[in-house]
A and B are shown apart, each in its own frame.
Chain A
Amino acid sequence: MLTLADISKTFFRGGANEVAALDAVSLDIAQGDFLTVIGSNGAGKSSLLNCLAGCFFPDAGHIVLDGRDITTLPEYARAAFLGRVFQDPLLGTSASLSIEQNLALASLRGKRRGLAPGVKARDRERFRHALASLSLGLEDRLQAGVRLLSGGQRQALTMLMATLAEPRVLLLDEHTAALDPKTAAHILDLTERIVAKKRLTTLMVTHNMHQALRLGNRLVMMHRGRVILDVRGEEKRNLAVEDLLRRFHSLRDRDGEAADDAMSDKMLLA
């Protein structure tokens, strides 16, 4: 359903900071797949997601969604198929608008925006119902400014907004990394529920190995812009943190790098 074929991207080409963010990455993603993507800092996880989202165009390779080549489709046009949640909880919502206005903007993702009222009376019941599923009491605060919400509440709202108009693919970019552990657990729980309920094809980038192992039916590990591990189904279920650590260590041995490079402290402690 979604195919990445030999995607390469080099940033700062020719400069001192030249970095191959993506190096001939190929992935075949089936309808309903839930991929967790792990890797150390600079492995290319976020670049992979941003490339899919259209934040930049690859130097080489193709992205094909439902048989359509979307490699050079601009970011805003691609948004019609994609739901996105960012790491920064402030990025997913508009602070100067109310909860219902944010939801209304999200419900029109991929549709023409005209001169009809932004928030329609008939949508309110739907919004209230969707907000109630968050169990945060937001369903009674439709007109409240998003500015007043906490980071966790805003991230929960973003999750809802990303899936309100059902996306073909849901992209989650370390969406719990900036939250405190309790809130992160809540958002992760919500993620599992929404993805399962709507059977969404999902890519979730994470720093957290436990998360990556617990969620999804497929795990992809990246290193230096390449996919170095791609396991699914039974094989993934039998995978343990120790197996992933061994992988990282073997990388270090092979590349002769310092341990910190292949495996950040953050991943160990997570």
Chain B
Amino acid sequence: MTYYAFIGAVEQGFVYGLMVLGVYLTFRVLDFPDLTVDGSLPLGAAVSSVAVTAGVNPYLSLAFAFMAGFAAGAVTGLLNAKFKILHLLASILTMIALYSINIRIMGRPNLTLLGKPTVLSAFTGLGVPAHAAGPLLYGGLSVLAAIALVWYLSTEFGQATLATGDNPRMITALGVNTQVTVILGVGLSNALTAVSGALVAQNQGAADVNMGVGTIVAGLASVIIGETLLGRGGLARTIAAALAGSVAYRLAIALALDLRIGSLSVTPSDLNLITALVVVAALTLPTLRARLTGRRC
């Protein structure tokens, strides 16, 4: 792998890092497998791109993306918590609806940002060399988001959110309305994902309605890889692991794209298969290991 390919993968890891933090929040904290992210990632991209095209400051457009993503996640949370639709199905419904909404927002299936200001152009304007600017800026943003998430989850309300995923009966008996913790939690998760989508669009210079396909699987793979690398300790460590997992996942993909076995070489279209296999392996290994060592979980 070349130096530039390496830098590019690290940059991608941080850009998608916000999405991975969001997936961690639903999948691990709330125990809510949330496929909304496949729609809220392009939603963030669409909202931010339309805003930037209309002359809005690229950084301010991230706030719009955040709010749009939060609304999308809140709808999923509402469908599940209030209307008792199975979490997976609720999130699929929102995701499908977002496909139409995203095209409505952009007025077409994709929108280019060529020649428009981005979060990066404002940053390189300060004199930061172009190849280092990406990893620095996106790294800074995702680390900030990770710190904010650690803080949030250690507040009174955040702790109630953690307990909601772990033991809903107990936290209800302690006076917490789990509908509220679920709706806000899934909302926040998709807000982070939408900001991630906005950064992806600004980074690659275009928003596309199909850019969200496979987001949830990539997010899960990142979370699981992070856990494998850094383990699950306290809150800060677990969240740092999720972010590190995002970078590791993008590096692994970059490596896989370099892979050649005889005349067969891995193409970008093979990545979904590889990612799915990684997630299956990671999800089954703990059970297999327990069975092999004779321990039961």
Residues of A within 8 A of B (CB): 53, 74-77, 79-80, 82, 84, 86, 91-97, 101, 104-106, 108-111, 113-119, 161
Contacts and interface: CB of A to CB of B under 8 A. Distances in A.
Given A76-B176, A97-B159, A104-B159, 12 more contacts: A79-B172, A94-B171, A105-B159, A108-B156, A109-B175, A113-B157, A113-B159, A113-B160, A118-B156, A118-B158, A119-B154, A161-B174
B170 A117 contact: no
Nearest to A158: B170
A76 B162 contact: no
Interface centre among A111, A113, A114 (most CB of B within 10 A): A113
B175 A80 contact: yes
A119 B159 CA distance: 9
A11 B176 CA distance: 26
A74 to B, nearest CB: 7
Interface in B135-176: 152, 154-160, 162-163, 166-167, 169-176
A115 B155 contact: yes
Given A91-B169, A94-B171, A114 B155 contact: yes
Contact of A96 (B162, B175, B178): B162
Given A113-B157, A118-B154, A94 B162 contact: yes
Nearest to B167: A94
B272 interface: no
Contacts of A109: 174-175
A84 B167 contact: no
A42 to B, nearest CB: 21
Contacts of A117: 154-156
A70 to B, nearest CB: 14
A216 B244 CA distance: 56
Contacts of B178: 76
B265 interface: no
A93 B170 contact: yes
Interface of B: 152, 154-160, 162-163, 166-167, 169-178
A80 B172 CA distance: 10
Contacts of A94: 162-163, 166-167, 170-171
Contact of B172 (A75, A111, A119): A75
Interface centre among A74, A82, A96, A116 (most CB of B within 10 A): A96
B155 A118 contact: yes
Nearest to B154: A118
B154 A97 contact: no
19 contacts: A53-B173, A75-B172, A84-B173, A86-B169, A92-B173, A94-B163, A94-B171, A104-B156, A106-B174, A108-B174, A113-B156, A114-B157, A115-B155, A115-B156, A115-B157, A117-B156, A118-B158, A118-B159, A161-B174
Given A77-B175, A113-B176, A97 B156 contact: no
B170 A116 contact: no
Contacts of A106: 174
Nearest to A84: B173
A108 B174 CA distance: 8
Nearest to B232: A96
B171 A105 contact: yes
A95 B166 contact: yes
Contacts of B158: 118
Contact of B175 (A76, A92, A95): A76
A105 B157 contact: no
B167 A116 contact: no
A79 B174 contact: yes
A106 B154 CA distance: 15
A77 B176 CA distance: 8
Contacts of A101: 159
A97 B166 contact: yes
B160 A105 contact: yes
Nearest to B160: A113
A82 to B, nearest CB: 8
A117 B150 CA distance: 11
A92 B160 contact: no
Nearest to A95: B166
Contacts of B163: 94, 97, 105
Nearest to A106: B174
B155 A95 contact: no
Interface centre among B162, B167, B174, B177 (most CB of A within 10 A): B174
Nearest to A85: B173
A54 B49 CA distance: 48
Contacts of A53: 173
B166 A79 contact: no
A205 to B, nearest CB: 15
A77 B175 CA distance: 6
B180 to A, nearest CB: 9
A116 B166 contact: no
A86 B170 CA distance: 9
B159 A76 contact: no
B142 to A, nearest CB: 22
